[in-house]
Amino acid sequence: MHTTLSTRAIPEGDRLPFWRETIGKMFMPLECVAGAGTSFSADLQHASVGPVDLMAMTASPHQVTRSARLVRNSDADYFMVSYQISGQGFLRQSDKESQQSAGDFVLYDSTRPFEMGYCENFSKYILRIPRSLLSAHVSSPDRLCGLTISAKSSPSILLGGMLRSLAESRAEMATTVLDPIANALIELVVGGLQSLPQAQQGEVSKLQTFHLSRVKSYILQNLRDPSLNIERIALDLKMSVSSLYRIFEKEDQPLSQWIWSQRLQLCQRDLKSPVLKEKNIGDIAFDWGFSNCTHFSRAFKRETGMTPKEFRKQHMTG
C-alpha cells in the first residue's frame, strides 16, 4: 500500500478543511468535526484489491457525519466495513448504535445517513465493497448495518490477519490474484455478518438464499463469456428458467438487467484503471461479455450519463 493522503504537511488550521474536501473527492462527502481541545491530524493509505478498496487510517479524535443532504447529492453506492485496530469508536446508522474496540468490525451503507466518531487517537482498516458484490453473497446486507461483529469471532480474527498482511505487504500482486483475494475478504465479512443473531431474522428461506447466492456466483464467474444468458445459466445450474426468475423476484433488478449491470460496473472499473489507460475501449467491452460496441456505448451512457470515452477522460484527469 502507499500513502495517498496525509495532513502532516498542511498548516494546523487548514488540516480539517483539507481532509474534508479531499476525502469528499476521493471517497464520499462527509462533514467532519475535530475532537474538543485537540489538534487534528490524519493519515490514510489506499490500495485497490480487484473490485474492493482497502484503506488503513490513523487519526486523532474526530467525528464524521454523512447527512441526508450529502446522501442526496452524492452517487456513492457502497457498503463499507470498518475494522478497528486501536482506540474505540461508535457508529450510528438508521435505528442502530454500536461501539467498536480493537478487533471488532462493523458494516455501514454509503446510501444512508450515518455518524461515526472517536474520542481518542485511533487506527482502523476500511473496506469499500460495491453493493452488488456484497449482495451477491448475503441477502439484504443493509439490515445488518450498524451491528458490531466481535473481535472474538473467528471471521473477525481471520479478517484482521488478512487485512494486516495486505496493508503491510510491499510486494506487487499479479492482476490474476486480485479478484480471488477480494472474494476471500468478502467471504470473511459475510461470515461475520451471518454470525449475528439478527442475520436469522426476517430472512427469506435458507434454500432461497442459497440458490440466489449460487446463481449470482455463477454469473460473476462467467461474465466474460458473451454467450452467457438466462437459458445457459438454467442449463448449467440444472434449474428451470421460471425458477431463476422467481429467485430474483425480490431483488432490486431483474436477472438479465443484473447481468448487464455487473458487466458495466467492471467496464467502469477498467476504464478508471491507470494500468489499462492504453487499452482500447472496445477491447475492455469485449473482455466483459459485450459483443457489440454500439450496444455497449448506449448501455454505458444510460448507466453513467457519459460515453465510455468521456468517462475515461474524466477519471484519468480528475
User: What domains appear along the chain, each with residue ranges and CATH number?
Assistant: 2-196 (2.60.120.10), 206-317 (1.10.10.60)
Confidence of residue 207 (pLDDT cuts 50, 70, 90): low
Sign of CA dihedral 216, 219, 223, 229: negative
What's 92's DSSP letter? E
Residue 133 near residue 186 (C-beta atoms within 8 A): yes
Mean of pLDDT over the chain: 89
pLDDT band, very low/low/confident/very high, at 204 (cuts 50, 70, 90): very low
Q: Looking up cell 455478518, which residue turns up?
A: 193
Tens digit of pLDDT for each residue in 140-152? 788 899 999 999 9
pLDDT bucket at 243, cuts 50 / 70 / 90: confident
- Are the CB atoms for 301 and 267 separated by under 8 Å? no
Q: Residue 181 pLDDT more than 90?
A: yes
Alpha carbon 103 to its chain's center? 20
DSSP code, position 189: H
- Model pLDDT, residue 298: 92
Is the pLDDT at 194 greater than 50, yes or no?
yes
Residue 95 · residue 62 · CB < 8 Å: no
Residues 6+ apart with CB under 8 A from 234: 240, 241, 243, 244
Can you tell me whether residue 33 is helix, strand or coil? strand
pLDDT digits (tens, 9 = 90+) for 295-310: 999 999 998 899 999 9
102 phi, psi to nearest 5 deg: -55, 130
pTM (predicted TM-score): 0.66
pLDDT digits (tens, 9 = 90+) for 37-90: 778 999 999 988 999 999 999 999 999 999 999 998 888 889 999 999 999 999
